[in-house]
Amino acid sequence: MLKSMTPADVFTVSVGAPQGQEVFSGWASRMASVGEFRSSTVQTYAAIWSAWLSWLAARDLNWSDVDAGTIRLYLNGPSPGLVHHRPALRADRMANYTQQRYWRVLRAVYAEAVRTGVLKSNPVLEVPEAARPAIHWDSRWYQVLPPGLLAQLRDPAVIEECIPYERKTQWWAVRDRALMLVLAYLGLTTRELMALRGCDALPSSCSYASQVGLPRPGVDGCQFPRKSGVGEQAGALTNRVCVFCE
């Protein structure tokens, strides 16, 4: 465990190579102590480092003896398929952004090994510049919406047209409309969206909630207080644009 780390509830690298674990722990602890990493960040990076150590162990390789060729072979191969991630889009090769993330973690941990005197040089930096992972320009196209599209996605009339339904019993269409509006207004991550409950977003005046028996915060015997932050923002949105009571 990263005993010197704050916060302390971090992921422990359970693979072999104790010296490699120690180097990672020192790096993560140092970054957390200056406020650069949260515990969730350390967990993610620990899983990445653990996947690298596991890959090496399966090939009887030592983390401290690798060269640029080994690192390139790893980064150009299939994704390790971490359990908390969705399945890889390609079975034979890491996605562009996955390569970038692994590259950064390996570069930083090996730099820590050099800084502390465990290694004399950083093998990650021995990879030729032209062979290092880089974000492809076509990968950036999907990160920015075309001008004017966000305003359209925030328009309930546009969403109604894009997600039509013939009968009110088609509840999934109403749900999908609500999801699109909440995403467009609040920019939630998928995890934040999945964590939302009905009573986080439904206003107490929602007549639809009363009709179908959905609990609302503060009324109808709802046992859960409205969440702060995202839940309050979602509640404010639905008070203004209620997809159920339109």
- If you average pLDDT over every residue of the chain, what do you get? 75
Look at 146-155, 167-176, 185-194, 219-228 and tell me which has the smallest mean pLDDT: 219-228
Do residues 82 and 48 both lie within one domain? yes
- The span from the CA of 186 to the CA of 165, in Å, is 24
Retrieve residue 37's tokens. Answer: 């990493």
**In which domain, by residue range, is 51 found?**
18-143
Do residues 78 and 101 both lie within one domain? yes
pTM above 0.75, yes or no: no
- Note the pLDDT tens digit of each residue in 100-115: 889 999 999 999 999 9
Question: Inter-axis angle of helices 96-115 and 68-75, to 10 degrees?
Answer: 150
- The span from the CA of 241 to the CA of 229, in Å, is 18
Domain boundary among 143, 167, 191: 143
Comparison of pLDDT for 136 and 28, the residue scoring more = 28
Comparison of pLDDT for 156 and 209, the residue scoring more = 156
Q: Is residue 11 part of a domain?
A: no
Q: What is the pLDDT of residue 167?
A: 79
Cis peptide before 225 (omega within 30 of 0): no
Q: What is the pLDDT of residue 122?
A: 96
Q: Is residue 246 part of a domain?
A: no
Retrieve residue 140's tokens. Answer: 């950036």
- The span from the CA of 3 to the CA of 67, in Å, is 31
Q: Is residue 12 part of a domain?
A: no
Q: Is residue 4 part of a domain?
A: no
Comparison of pLDDT for 193 and 6, the residue scoring more = 193
State yes or no: pLDDT of 73 exceeds 90. yes
Do residues 131 and 35 both lie within one domain? yes
User: How crowded is residue 94: how many other Cβ atoms within 10 Å of its Cβ?
Assistant: 22
Comparison of pLDDT for 124 and 168, the residue scoring more = 124
Q: What is the pLDDT of residue 39?
A: 86
Q: Is residue 2 part of a domain?
A: no
- The amino acid at residue 99 is Q
The helix/strand/coil state of 172 is: helix
Q: What is the pLDDT of residue 16?
A: 52
The answer to whether residues 226 and 232 touch, using CB atoms and an 8 Å cutoff, is yes
Domain boundary among 104, 126, 143: 143
Q: Is residue 1 part of a domain?
A: no
The answer to whether residues 243 and 172 touch, using CB atoms and an 8 Å cutoff, is no
Q: Which residues pair with 216 in a beta bridge?
A: 219
Question: To the nearest whole percent, how much of the chain has pLDDT over 70?
Answer: 65
Per-residue pLDDT, averaged over 146-171, amounts to 86
State yes or no: pLDDT of 56 exceeds 70. yes
Output DSSP code: residue 146. P
Do residues 109 and 163 both lie within one domain? no
- Note the pLDDT tens digit of each residue in 116-153: 999 999 999 999 988 888 776 666 666 677 888 888 98
Do residues 65 and 82 both lie within one domain? yes
* Number of domains within the chain: 2
Do residues 31 and 99 both lie within one domain? yes
- The span from the CA of 51 to the CA of 214, in Å, is 44
Do residues 187 and 113 both lie within one domain? no
Retrieve residue 151's tokens. Answer: 């305003």
Domain boundary among 89, 121, 143: 143
Q: What is the pLDDT of residue 144?
A: 72
Kindly give, in sequence order, each residue whose CB lies less than 8 Å from that of residue 119, ignoring residues fewer than 6 positions away: 64, 110, 113
Do residues 132 and 24 both lie within one domain? yes
Do residues 71 and 155 both lie within one domain? no
Q: Is residue 245 part of a domain?
A: no
Q: What is the pLDDT of residue 67?
A: 94
Q: For residue 93, with 0-12 CB atoms within 10 Å meaning exposed, 13-18 middle and 19 or more buried, which class applies?
A: middle
The answer to whether residues 10 and 42 touch, using CB atoms and an 8 Å cutoff, is yes
Q: What is the pLDDT of residue 145?
A: 78
Q: What is the pLDDT of residue 164?
A: 87
Do residues 166 and 187 both lie within one domain? yes
The answer to whether residues 216 and 222 touch, using CB atoms and an 8 Å cutoff, is yes
Do residues 112 and 190 both lie within one domain? no
Do residues 156 and 125 both lie within one domain? no
